[in-house]
Amino acid sequence: MSDIAAYIRQAAENAKAAFYELAAADTRSKNAALLHMAEGLLQQQDAILAANAEDMAAAREKNLDAPMLDRLLLTEKTVQGMAEGLRQIAALPDPVGEMDEFRTQPSGIQLGKMRMPLGVIGIIYESRPNVTIDAAALCLKSGNACLLRGGSEAIRSNKAIAAVIYAGLRAAGLPEHAVHLITETDRAGVGAMLQLPELIDVIIPRGGKGLVARISAEARVPVIKHLDGVCHVYVDSDADADMALKIAFNAKTGRYGACNSMETLLVHQDRAAELLPRFQAAYAEKEVELRGCARTQALLGEAVVPATEEDWSAEYLGPVLAVKVVADMDEAIAHINHYGSHHTDSIVTADYARAQQFLRRVDSASVMVNASTRFADGFEYGLGAEIGISTDKIHVRGPVGLQGLTSQKWVVFGHGEVRV
């Protein structure tokens, strides 16, 4: 075994042992650790910012691009935000031990489902130091041990933050190995994590589509993943015009880089002539490029770029929008299920039956009526915080909060029953 593989295995073994303690830890101790960490971040703010300044200097020397530098940068305000995030997670109800579906069977046994942590969670992420604290806090509160493998460019910042995390665990009497920052940032370490199903219970990759796809393809450990956000708004024949405009505008232009932003607008053919020019005028103010189907082009003229087959499944993450006129809701739903990424899709309609049908038949993690796709978010859903947004079908769909980091085991209360 290579040194790095041995290091990862040892870290995972320690985390597994810590998990068994943490799974039984009381809520009070977990919250105390989170509040200690919040205090620690503020007290160690200078040290954290100094470490981050070194990371930033090294990153500039390596000519990292502006968005990467932006994600790497910590400021007083972001550190305070991290501390506030910890306090919010401490204030959330503890999902561990919750009981559900309690019932008595004819045999006499009583049973129900008890919510429990998953075990050891491996988080693989890019050079975003804030993920270090968010991921540690969500895993801790949900009773999971975690291995944090952040991008190498953030290693100094991550180490400074990890020191605060470890101190918080110690202060609350929780096992120190409950959170482990992988400090060997050799790429082989990621590969080693993916090959330990007996020690690591789930891997959550956070990053670009390429990274996530590669990890999913290689992993022998189950993966909870976010691939991409090709989100749609469908404007139905019975849509309120102003509402449709407001939602379509917000869903595209609210924040271009967000995974819950709209990438394709679908408009019912009966409303296209009336609405598309209004949409076009609104998007023009924000210099959003439109790529349209033939009917869209016929209505809006040469300012609209012809959409190619690739446009229907493109995640632009920028001021570009694909536009398609559809014959009816059936075509819209078929388009979304075929070209979309099963992330978030919304219908604008005043029709009750079609609203119900759309909610049922669109196979996405979030399906909406008369709301902007931008609402697909842990905070907006009331989950308090999220470790990511799942585009998977099993285990958890959409924003992954504390509950998504747990599953349910069966507990049986007997009175000496045996099976005949």
Nearer to a copy of itself by Cβ, of 124 and 162: the residue is 124
Nearer to a copy of itself, 23 or 58 (CB): 23
Q: Which is nearer to a copy of itself, 225 or 291 (CB)?
A: 225
- Residue 161 is inside which H or E element, if any? helix 155-171
The nearest distance, CB 111 to a copy of itself, in angstroms, is 6
Q: Of the two residues 127 and 142, which places its CB atom closer to a copy of itself in the complex? A: 142
Query: CA-CA distances (angstroms) from residue 337 to 216, 330, 373, 390?
Result: 22, 11, 16, 16
Q: How far is the CB of 288 from a copy of itself (least distance, A)?
A: 16
Question: What minimum distance in Å lies between the beta carbon of 410 and a copy of itself?
Answer: 4
Residue-wise burial string across 291-324, b where 16 or more C-beta atoms lie within 10 A, e elsewhere? bbbebbbebbeeebeebeeebbebbbeeebbbbb
Q: How far is the CB of 131 from a copy of itself (least distance, A)?
A: 21
Question: HSE of 379 in the Cβ direction (CA atoms, 13 Å)?
Answer: 4
Q: What is the smallest separation between the CB atom of 206 and a copy of itself, expressed in angstroms?
A: 17
Q: Which is nearer to a copy of itself, 16 or 36 (CB)?
A: 16
Token digits for 134?
């968010």
Q: Are 138 and 405 in contact (CB under 8 A)?
A: yes
| CA separation, residue 194 to residues 188, 191, 200, 210 (Å) | 10, 5, 8, 16
Residue among 172 and 202 whose Cβ is closer to a copy of itself: 202
Burial of 164 (0-12, 13-18, 19+ CB in 10 A): buried
Identity of the residue, 85 or 399, whose beta carbon is nearer to a copy of itself in the bound complex: 399
Give min distance, CB of 87 to a copy of itself, in A: 19
Closest CA to 19 of 162, 201, 195: 201
Shortest separation between residue 388's beta carbon and a copy of itself, angstroms: 14
Phi, psi (rounded to 5 degrees) for 122: -100, 120
User: Which of these, 39, 38, 37, 72, lies nearest to 53 by C-alpha position?
Assistant: 72
Nearest distance from C-beta of residue 279 to a copy of itself, angstroms = 15
The amino acid sitting at 411 is: V
Nearer to a copy of itself, 114 or 171 (CB): 114
